[in-house]
């Protein structure tokens, strides 16, 4: 059994630009409100916000394996220890969390072996092929065959809302993502980048079966009422939380 979720911005206590369920400390919101929002959200799934493990997300492709000794790292302000964009665990009842507002979160579990992995991919992580890196790592270190992995992609910014400059487009172009399915010239000299399409293709190329891949078609920028969007809100905004844990028991960890 696995417990997993991705939040919206609804149902929290933060105010103004962070209204209302902001779950990130580093964006300028009140720490007390963020704690309360995390408590509310995780309690809904029978998890304690003080147990989560999160990293300092740096838009890279580093992976870190965490265990019971890391429990609570990142739960309170300034307590995250790992600088990376993907966390892996084989421990039951240890909630991995990541935070986003336009970037994509990628959830991995295996039908073969108890493991959970959660990655954060904006354009840099996507260009660095963080999904493929995780798939290879899970296969090499845990014997988890890609065909047996279940993968989910969170809501993220859609191609119509996500514009990148020429320089960024050139990087995707030279990495082979030049088809209009991934990168399309826009009227204002920028390019539309389809983060979801690139990530999906990377996962499939690396052995994830289409029927084991689920994704949301909701755009974080188009849906102002539901989501924070870093691009749309010009940087002053909150973050959604994604969490993933191997359950201790059906229905989650009761506390």
What minimum distance in Å lies between the beta carbon of 253 and Zn ion? 35
Q: Is-contact 12 239, C-beta < 8 A?
A: no
Q: Is 222 in the site for Zn ion (CB under 5 A)?
A: yes
What tokens does 82 get? 């790992």
Say how many residues touch Zn ion, by CB under 5 A. Answer: 5
What minimum distance in Å lies between the beta carbon of 231 and Zn ion? 9
Stretch that binds Zn ion, among 110-118, 125-133, 220-228, 242-250 (CB under 5 A): 220-228
Q: Is 103 in the site for Zn ion (CB under 5 A)?
A: no
What minimum distance in Å lies between the beta carbon of 219 and Zn ion? 3
Choosing from 61, 199, 221, 237, the residue that interacts with Zn ion (CB under 5 A) is 221
Residue with tokens 């983060």: 195
Q: Is 219 in the site for Zn ion (CB under 5 A)?
A: yes
Q: Is 13 in the site for Zn ion (CB under 5 A)?
A: no
- Distance in angstroms (rounded) separating the CA atoms of residues 77 and 105: 21
Cα end-to-end span (Å), the chain: 17
User: Cβ neighbours of residue 38 under 8 Å, at least 6 residues apart?
Assistant: 23, 49, 52, 75, 241
Q: Is 229 in the site for Zn ion (CB under 5 A)?
A: no
Q: From edge to edge, which strands make up the β-sheet containing 163-164?
A: 163-164, 191-193, 183-185
Site for Zn ion in 160-179 (CB under 5 A): 161
Q: Is 70 in the site for Zn ion (CB under 5 A)?
A: no
Site for Zn ion in 129-158 (CB under 5 A): 158
What tokens does 19 get? 């209204």
Q: Is 196 in the site for Zn ion (CB under 5 A)?
A: no
- Distance in angstroms (rounded) separating the CA atoms of residues 43 and 62: 29
- Chain residues in the site for Zn ion (CB under 5 A): 158, 161, 219, 221-222
């Amino acid at each position: 059994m696995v417990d997993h979720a991705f939040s919206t911005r609804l149902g929290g206590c933060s105010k103004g630009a962070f209204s209302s369920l902001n779950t990130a400390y580093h964006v300028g919101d009140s720490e007390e409100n963020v704690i309360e929002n995390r408590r509310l959200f995780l309690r809904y799934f029978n998890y304690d916000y003080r147990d989560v493990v999160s990293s300092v997300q740096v838009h890279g492709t580093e992976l870190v394996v965490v265990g019971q000794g890391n429990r609570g790292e990142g739960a309170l302000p300034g307590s995250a220890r790992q600088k990376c964009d993907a966390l892996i665990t084989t421990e039951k009842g240890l909630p991995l969390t990541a935070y986003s507002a336009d970037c994509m979160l990628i959830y991995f579990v295996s039908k073969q072996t108890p493991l959970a992995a959660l990655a954060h991919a904006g354009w840099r992580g996507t260009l660095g092929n963080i999904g493929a890196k995780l798939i290879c790592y899970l296969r090499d270190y845990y014997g988890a065959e890609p065909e047996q992995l279940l993968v989910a992609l969170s809501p993220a910014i859609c191609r119509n809302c996500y514009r990148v400059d020429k320089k960024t487009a050139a990087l995707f172009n030279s990495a082979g993502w030049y088809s209009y399915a991934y990168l399309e010239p826009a009227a204002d000299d920028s390019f539309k980048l389809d983060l979801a399409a690139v990530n999906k293709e990377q996962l499939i190329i690396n052995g994830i079966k289409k029927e084991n891949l689920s994704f949301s078609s909701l755009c974080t920028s188009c849906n102002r009422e539901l989501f924070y969007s870093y691009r749309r809100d010009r940087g002053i905004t909150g973050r959604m939380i994604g969490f993933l844990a191997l359950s201790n028991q059906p229905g989650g960890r009761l506390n």
